[in-house]
Every structure is written in structure tokens, then in C-alpha cells.
Amino acid sequence: MLRDKNHPSVFAWSLLNEPSTTTEAANEYFGPLFEAAHKYGPQQRPRIFALIMYSTPDACKSYHHADFLCMNRYYGWYVKGESDFEGAERLFRDEMDAWVELDLNKPMIFTEYGTDNYIGESKLPSVMGQSNTRMGT
């Protein structure tokens, strides 16, 4: 037991990363995939996938397949970026409230958030899309 105390563990199967989930076709396609992961996984680990920004509670047709929700969210950068932090916070809170209203009784994890960045670059107010000659971009 002491030997393995710092080893990573697989606690869930992440089956998809940012798939398009806003159509019924996605629901029909991903359903069997989640069922197979449950059927063939002897440990019966939770099944998850990371929802892309536009997979919101009113648009996503596939969230019910996951055992808990994983969110990739970029409020304040790709959505309401620049210096409109209050607007970004409002949109973030509105989305989270909409998830709560669904009463899913599922855990939620933020799997991606933040911004692209360059080492040594730090500006307030934030500057979006700025090229960095040191990085060759």
C-alpha cells in the first residue's frame, strides 16, 4: 500500500472530448458508446465526456449519458473576453443556474478553463489574440 500511494488512478472513463452534442443524431450515436463502456468495463467506472462551450443545458442532447458532467469553459476569454469580466461572470452564472435547474443529481467537474498564455506575458486589462514574437507566433 505504501508503495502505490502516489501512483495515478483511473477513476472514470473519459469517452469523448468536446464532441458535437446538439443534435438528436449525436444522442443516437453516443448512447451505444456509453452503454458499451459500461458493459465491457469490469470495474463499472463512471463514464464521462468533456462538454464543449456550446454544449449548454438547453442545447446538449447527450449529457444524460455521462455519469457526471465535465465542462470545458472559457468565459472571460473566448466568450466575453477583453475587459468585460462582469459580462463573462453573468453568462457563466446563468449557464450554471440552468444546469442546476435540470436537477440532474450528478457531480460536475471543470476540466478546462482559462486562457491561452505565453510565459512571461501578463497584462491587465487582458489582451486577446496578441502575438508573441518570442514564441514565433
pLDDT of residue 114: 76
* Mean pLDDT for the stretch of residues 55-67: 96
Cell representation of residue 79: 466568450
Look at 83 and 63; give whichever has higher pLDDT. 63
- CATH architecture classification, 13-135: Alpha-Beta Barrel (3.20)
For all residues of the chain together, what is the average pLDDT?
85
For residue 46, with 0-12 CB atoms within 10 Å meaning exposed, 13-18 middle and 19 or more buried, which class applies? Answer: middle
Sheet hosting strand 69-72, strand order edge to edge: 13-17, 47-51, 69-72, 108-112
**Catalytic residue set:** 18, 112
Q: Percent of the chain at pLDDT above 70?
A: 82
Those residues whose C-beta lies under 8 Å from the C-beta of residue 39, and which sit 6 or more positions away, are: none
Residue count (the chain): 137
Q: How many CB atoms lie within 10 A of CB 133?
A: 6
Per-residue pLDDT band for 131 (boundaries 50, 70, 90) equals very low
For residues 82 and 118, what is the distance between their CA atoms, to the nearest angstrom? 16
Q: pLDDT tens digits, residue range 2-29?
A: 776 777 778 899 999 999 999 999 999 9
Q: Where are the domains of the chain?
A: 13-135
pTM: 0.78
Mean pLDDT value across residues 99-105 = 96
